[in-house]
Amino acid sequence: MSFADLVTSILGLIQSVIYLIIGASVVVFILGIIKMIAGGANEKSLSDGKQRIIWGIIGIFVSVSVWGLIRILLTTFSLS
């Protein structure tokens, strides 16, 4: 196994984990929206829903950014 194969397999594993994190972030975001809608005028539900939405957006942004960096590394070093 060459060094390029090792790096490719590690980056592939990281990329799979990123997909799971993106999915979880989207679920958190959607649950935040549902919590806000279902909460109505309840201030606790509204603030909890807003927090979930914010963390969902942050999670999506960070995950997509890391995924993009991995794609850049793979393309730059001509790894498959």
Scanning the structure block, which residue is given the tokens 């942050």? 58
Strand, coil or helix: what is 69?
Answer: helix
Contact 37, 53 (CB under 8 A): no
Mean pLDDT of the chain: 89
- The model's pLDDT over 37-61, given as tens digits with 9 standing for 90+, comes to 998 888 998 999 999 999 999 999 9
80 pLDDT more than 70: no
> Under a CB-based contact definition with an 8 Å cutoff, are residues 66 and 52 in contact?
no
What is the tens place of the pLDDT at every residue in 5-45? 888 888 888 888 989 999 999 999 999 999 999 988 889 98
